[in-house]
Amino acid sequence: MRIVIVGAGAVGFYLARRLSDEAQEVVVIESDPEKAQHAEDNLDVLTIRGSGADPAVLESAGLAQADMLMAVSGSEDANLLACMAANKAGVDVKVARVRDPEAHGPASLLAAESFGIDLMISPEQECAWETFQLLATEAATDLIRFGGGLVQVMGVQLQAGASMAGKSLAELDREMQAHRFVVAAVVRDGESRIPTGSTVLQERDRVFIVAPSDEIKAFPALAGYEPFRLRRVMIAGGSDEAVHLTRHLQAHGVECTILERDQERSRELAEMLPHALVLKGDATDLELLQMEGVEGVDGFAALTDRDEVNMLVALLARSLGARRVIPLIHQTSYMTLVGRVGIDAAVSPRISAANAILRFIRRGSLASVGTIKGSRAEAMEGIIPVDSPLIGRELRDIRLPEGSVLGALIRRGRVIMPRGGDRIEPGDHAVFIVLPGAMDAVGELLE
């Protein structure tokens, strides 16, 4: 499959890397010399220097032969024009990054249909929604919903004294039969692995559990966490992500305080968010954090435009007593540091946007996809076709591709946690955790 990506910034680079890892033919267009060079040096893709709004550049990228265009540069105008050109060239799937997708609704002069766009995406909005979900669930480092919300994949870091730590998966299966779950992946020392029955879980492991949504709340306690309810949140930084997050929190009755160092931006935030407390101040100021009661907040989100500041502020908030801290991270290489320094979880606009885009482009036999942060794995929901070789056989007799595990089956609205004697039926929704080397093989099982 030939995929043209406009923009080699945070979102474009991440998408190009994930798709090239799957052996897709990827062409990246980037006008900034430094970003273009970075892509050339670090990605196995063809990089073309120029603007995605330039017809000659798009032609040199082979747009007419492309199956997909992902226009995810920082220029909304260039993204829209690239999609318009792709629509005229007959490209099947067009994705555009825009600041506010709602502004391009059917009544707008710049509606998506006018440009032939199939999906408009805002990394800031996607990131804010993920931050809200993580704040609301204390233990989760990742939280991905499948089957219309019937099944969830939750990432949790095992705490000291967790009842799951020090036991093999086979032991857990025998001891916790009252709980319906599958431990589908483990990240240890930055390495992602698909566990077996003999795998022994350790404290500080990031464990990814697949379970019915109505039972997922039982697992924070098993991972060593105390009961939690989100009532008050403090936000560092007045970014677009902060604005969207505040609106999500207020819609759920959560009290919000925003710290913003710029005077003019503080005024704008106060006008946009009249029910939030907006304070002019630097969130790295220890005395300010103490004075504003950070020790009493249930959640703290560091959402400035600088990763280093976000990590520092999150650590300060944690040291002062904030119960749940989440920084925004642009550089995905920092994700592996999050758990090691005592931060609960982190969010990334590029990963949030990539999740939304991948969920959309992996249509057909795949109903949904979720990227697992800080790892190379993906969670995938696929629909079993009528002629699948998996049908009619007991699971104990099925050898899945190496680097994959079946986490759950959803059959006519009922969740089945797979056991050796279960059989797969046509039309089942199957939730897999998959490493990059197994994605094509799992995909073939679903075609």
The answer on 213 and 164 residing in a single domain is yes
The answer on 360 and 428 residing in a single domain is yes
The answer on 331 and 238 residing in a single domain is yes
69 and 93 Cβ atoms separated by less than 8 Å? yes
* Overall number of domains in the chain: 4
Tens digit of each residue's pLDDT (9 = 90 or more) over 145-154: 888 778 988 8
Average pLDDT over every residue of 368-375 = 69
- Does 373 have pLDDT greater than 80? no
The answer on 242 and 342 residing in a single domain is yes
The answer on 100 and 182 residing in a single domain is no
The answer on 260 and 338 residing in a single domain is yes
Separation between Cα atoms, residue 246 and residue 129, nearest integer Å = 10
Helices (H), 273-334: 286-291, 307-319
Is residue 111 very low, low, confident or very high in pLDDT (cuts 50, 70, 90)? low
134 domain-assigned: no
Helices (H), 137-274: 169-175, 219-222, 240-251, 263-272
Amino acid 314 reads: A
Q: Rounded to the nearest 5 degrees, what angle is found at the Cα of 88, between the Cα atoms of 86 and 92?
A: 55
Give the long-range contacts of residues 276-280, CB within 8 A, separation 24 or more: 276/246, 276/250, 278/238
**Residue 439: which of 398, 352, 391, 378 has the closest Cα?**
378
The answer on 190 and 246 residing in a single domain is no
| pLDDT computed for residue 143 by the predictor | 81
301 and 275 Cβ atoms separated by less than 8 Å? no
**Residue 122: which of 349, 412, 385, 425 has the closest Cα?**
349
Tens digit of each residue's pLDDT (9 = 90 or more) over 18-59: 888 878 899 999 999 999 999 999 999 999 999 999 999 999
The answer on 241 and 198 residing in a single domain is no
| pLDDT computed for residue 203 by the predictor | 92
| pLDDT computed for residue 138 by the predictor | 72
127 domain-assigned: no
408 domain-assigned: yes
Low-confidence winner among 130-144, 189-203, 237-251, 277-291 (lowest mean pLDDT)? 130-144
Is residue 376 very low, low, confident or very high in pLDDT (cuts 50, 70, 90)? confident
| pLDDT computed for residue 186 by the predictor | 92
Find the Cα–Cα–Cα–Cα dihedral 391, 392, 397, 401, rounded to 10°. Answer: 0
| Structural domain containing residue 292 | 229-351
Alpha-carbon distances of 26 from 18, 35, 62, 332, 440, rounded to whole Å: 10, 16, 11, 20, 16
Most confidently modeled range among 51-65, 186-200, 372-386: 51-65
133 domain-assigned: no
Average pLDDT value for the chain? 88
The answer on 307 and 401 residing in a single domain is no
The answer on 78 and 114 residing in a single domain is yes
The answer on 286 and 381 residing in a single domain is no
Separation between Cα atoms, residue 212 and residue 191, nearest integer Å = 26
147 domain-assigned: yes
Pick 79 or 356 by higher pLDDT. Answer: 79
CB atoms within 10 A of CB 275: 9
Separation between Cα atoms, residue 287 and residue 100, nearest integer Å = 36
130 domain-assigned: no
Domain CATH for 367 = 3.30.70.1450
194 domain-assigned: yes
**pLDDT > 70: what percent of the chain?**
94
| pLDDT computed for residue 219 by the predictor | 86
351, 367, 396 — which closes off a domain? 351
| pLDDT computed for residue 147 by the predictor | 80
Which residues pair with residue 331 across a beta bridge? none
Most confidently modeled range among 179-183, 273-277, 382-386: 273-277
What length is written for the chain?
A: 447
| pLDDT computed for residue 108 by the predictor | 57
**pLDDT > 90: what percent of the chain?**
51
Pick 259 or 362 by higher pLDDT. Answer: 259
Q: What is the DSSP code string of 48-90?
A: EES-TT-HHHHHHTTGGG-SEEEE-SS-HHHHHHHHHHHHHTT
Domain CATH for 102 = 3.40.50.720
**Residue 336: which of 327, 346, 326 has the closest Cα?**
346
277 domain-assigned: yes
- Does 107 have pLDDT greater than 60? no
Is residue 338 very low, low, confident or very high in pLDDT (cuts 50, 70, 90)? confident
| pLDDT computed for residue 306 by the predictor | 93
The answer on 187 and 208 residing in a single domain is yes
222, 252, 272 — which closes off a domain? 222
359 and 369 Cβ atoms separated by less than 8 Å? yes
Tens digit of each residue's pLDDT (9 = 90 or more) over 206-222: 899 999 988 888 888 88
351, 373, 399 — which closes off a domain? 351
